[in-house]
Amino acid sequence: MYTVDLTGKIALIFGVANHRSIAWAIAQALYSAGAKVALTYQTDRLKESVEGLAKEIGDAPLFQCDVSNDGEVEALYKKVGETMGTLSTVVHSIAFAQRDDLGGDFSKTEREGFRVALDVSAFSLLPIVRYAAPLMTDGGTVIAMTFLAGEKVFPGYNVMGVAKAALENSVKQLAAEFGPSNIRVNAISAGPLDTLSSRVITGYRDMKRIHQERAPMARNITHEDVGGTALYLASELSSGVTGAIIPVDVGYSIMGI
């Protein structure tokens, strides 16, 4: 009864940029359990690298989609519907802030930087779920990626902390809205991992070192730690779980000092 077998399930994964992307770890985990996986990539600049990865997971279908453009999200789902038919899982592993806004004084964040960070990193979850829902004819699961900076202050993370707070609240509101359709919406709150995005955050190295020093498990998390939890959230093992923000942080967030 309690096996993780995603045979027959179809997953659409947003946010693979390269082999270090958290989205790639999740794609591999879902594929290893038998799911058919499709990937989206943001721009043509990333196409070649994502094409190489797609080959490793059964020639995953690829779709281009920049989520800052509503038209592209809607058009993407039209193509996904035509190509894949239905969907079981959608993974939102997307974030962006202007480099200048990931360091220095938070109060100096400009209106445009604030807008862009919230638009790409939080608002995008809404159309991604709204257009996915009609394709989730047999229920479905949505997984978003967040960080503890949505709750606590991490100097350097700045406006992205606001974006994560907005994303986490959006996860809960979407879980409430789509629960009656048997669509579950959850987020994984991951500890620091070396990726294209994390490296530009001022103080990221310190964040990672301190995490390892203070976390009960005395190590940093791995991409596989996140992949495993995503597998749980994509499967029937988590059939009663929605609106949850699940820490995959080797316990860091429970510590007071």
The residues that are catalytic are: 157, 164
Cα Rg of the chain (Å, integer):
17
Under the binding rule (CB under 6 A), the answer on residue 95 touching ligand NAD is yes
53 is an interface residue for ligand NAD by CB under 6 A: no
Phi, psi (deg, nearest 5) at residue 167: -65, -45
For ligand NAD, the binding residue among 12, 60, 67, 230 (CB under 6 A) is 67
For position 193 contacting ligand NAD by CB under 6 A, the verdict is: yes
Interface with ligand NAD (CB under 6 A), residue from 198, 229, 235, 238 = 198
In terms of Cα–Cα distance, which of 142, 162, 38, 178 is closest to 102? Answer: 162
Binding of ligand NAD at residue 66 (CB under 6 A)?
yes
Q: Which positions from 97 to 136 touch ligand NAD by CB under 6 A, shown as an x/- string?
A: -----------------------x----------------
Rounded-to-integer distance, Cα 190 and Cα 245, Å: 10
* Tokens read off for 135: 């394709």
Distance CA 200, CA 190 (A): 17
Query: Among 237, 240, 231, which Cα is nearest to 248's?
Result: 231
Using CB under 6 A, list all residues that contact ligand NAD. 15-17, 21-23, 42, 46, 66-68, 93-96, 120, 145-147, 190, 192-193, 195-198
